[in-house]
C-alpha cells in the first residue's frame, strides 16, 4: 500500500473506496463540465484527477486499519465482475453536484437514496442546477482504489493508496 510514512497507527484519516474512470469517460466529463458550467458563479468543477465513481465513503478511520480495508477491497475486487455503469441522473447535496449511476446486470440497487456516483461540482451554497446530462455511453471500469481524502481550503485532495484490478484481471 502507498501509505505516506508520516502517518502513525493511532492517527485517523479520511478514506473512501472507488472505481477509477476510463480516460475517455474522464475526457467526456471534463468537456461536459466546460460546456455546462462555464460562467456559473459559485461552483468549482472537480478536476480530472479527482473524478472517480465513489462506492463507499468510510470517513475517518485509524491508520492501523488501512491494510485491512485495502485487503477487503482487494478481495472484493478480485471476485467482482467488471461493472457496466449507466448514467441515471444528476443530484445535489449541500456542497456537491454529482452524477449517479446504475451498475447494469450486477445487482438490484438498494432502496436508499445512495448510489454509486461521480462528484462533478463543489460549491458553498447549493445552486439548484438542472443541467442537461452528458451523453455518456455506459462504460466499464477496470480497477478499484482505496483513496485518502484531505480537506484543503481549495477543495478536497485525493491520493490513491492502493489500486487493484476488478475481476482479477
Q: Which 8-state DSSP code applies to residue 65?
A: G
* pLDDT one-digit tens code per residue, 122-147: 999 999 999 999 999 999 988 999 99
Domain boundaries, the chain: 12-168
Cβ atoms of residues 59 and 15 within 8 Å: yes
Q: Which fold has domain 12-168?
A: Cyclic Phosphodiesterase; Chain: A, (3.90.1140)
- Select the more confidently predicted residue: 6 or 40: 40
CA separation for the pair 20, 163 (Å, rounded): 9
pLDDT score, position 151: 87
| Percent of the chain at pLDDT exceeding 70 | 88
Q: Give the N- to C-terminal CA distance of the chain in Å, as an integer.
A: 19
- Name the least confident of 65-74, 78-87, 98-107, 114-123: 98-107
pLDDT for the residue 153: 82
Cα 16 to Cα 27, 56, 105, 158, distances in angstroms: 23, 6, 24, 10
Confidence of residue 4 (pLDDT cuts 50, 70, 90): low
Q: What is the pTM of this model?
A: 0.85
Task: Please give the pLDDT value at position 154.
Answer: 75
Amino acid at each position: 500500500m502507498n501509505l505516506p510514512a508520516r502517518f502513525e497507527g493511532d492517527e485517523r484519516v479520511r478514506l473512501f473506496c472507488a472505481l477509477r474512470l476510463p480516460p475517455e469517460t474522464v475526457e467526456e466529463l471534463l468537456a461536459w463540465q466546460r460546456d455546462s458550467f462555464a460562467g456559473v458563479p459559485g461552483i468549482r468543477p472537480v478536476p480530472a484527477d479527482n473524478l472517480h465513481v465513489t462506492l463507499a465513503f468510510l470517513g475517518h478511520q485509524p491508520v492501523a486499519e488501512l491494510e485491512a480495508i485495502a485487503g477487503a477491497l482487494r478481495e472484493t475486487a478480485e471476485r467482482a465482475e467488471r461493472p457496466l455503469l449507466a448514467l441515471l441522473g444528476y443530484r445535489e447535496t449541500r456542497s456537491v453536484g454529482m452524477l449517479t449511476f446504475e451498475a447494469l446486470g450486477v445487482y438490484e440497487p438498494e432502496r436508499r437514496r445512495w448510489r454509486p456516483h461521480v462528484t462533478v461540482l463543489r460549491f458553498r451554497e447549493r445552486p439548484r442546477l438542472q443541467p442537461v446530462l452528458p451523453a455518456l455511453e455506459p462504460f466499464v471500469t477496470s480497477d478499484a482504489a482505496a483513496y485518502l481524502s484531505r480537506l484543503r481550503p481549495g477543495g478536497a485532495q485525493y491520493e490513491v493508496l492502493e489500486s487493484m484490478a476488478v475481476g482479477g484481471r
